[in-house]
């Protein structure tokens, strides 16, 4: 399987090499970072009401103090779709002073 030569393509290649079937639905975690807890909470509330991503979790990094909203989306991990989902979530996060920090798929999270 061929993957584009960018960060998402590299991550998809690593996931495929680990034996995960990228043609199946998976729960993908998207990471959105915030300097202020109040901004993170507002984003988490807004995105939890979105049909795309009803599952969210707010955590604080113990090392940096940065607030992170982990937004879970169930989808087939397609390169184009991942990029579009990142852009969509970040476009909402920008309104709350947040920014995207990538995505991840944990082995065993498949639907």
* Cβ atoms of residues 105 and 20 within 8 Å: yes
Tens digits of residue pLDDT in 88-100: 999 999 999 999 9
Tens digits of residue pLDDT in 45-92: 998 888 877 688 999 988 889 999 999 999 999 999 999 999 999 999
- What is the distance, to the nearest Å, from the Cα of residue 102 to the centroid of all Cα atoms in its chain? 6
pTM: 0.89
Quick one: pLDDT at residue 108? 53
Q: What are the distances in angstroms from CA 23 to CA 72, 88, 99, 107?
A: 18, 22, 28, 14
What distance in Å separates the CA atoms of residue 98 and residue 79, rounded to the nearest whole number?
23
Quick one: pLDDT at residue 110? 41
When pLDDT is averaged across residues 15-32 and rounded to a whole number, the result is: 94
What distance in Å separates the CA atoms of residue 4 and residue 36, rounded to the nearest whole number?
35
């Amino acid at each position: 399987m061929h993957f584009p030569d960018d960060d998402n393509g590299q991550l998809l290649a690593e996931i495929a090499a680990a034996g995960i079937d990228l043609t199946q639905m998976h729960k993908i975690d998207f990471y959105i970072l915030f300097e202020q807890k109040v901004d993170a909470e507002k984003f988490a509330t807004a995105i939890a009401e979105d049909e795309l991503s009803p599952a969210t979790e707010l955590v604080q990094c113990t090392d940096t103090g940065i607030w992170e909203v982990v937004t879970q989306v169930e989808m087939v991990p397609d390169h184009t779709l991942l990029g579009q989902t990142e852009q969509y979530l970040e476009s909402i996060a920008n309104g709350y002073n947040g920014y995207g920090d990538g995505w991840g798929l944990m082995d065993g999270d498949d639907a």
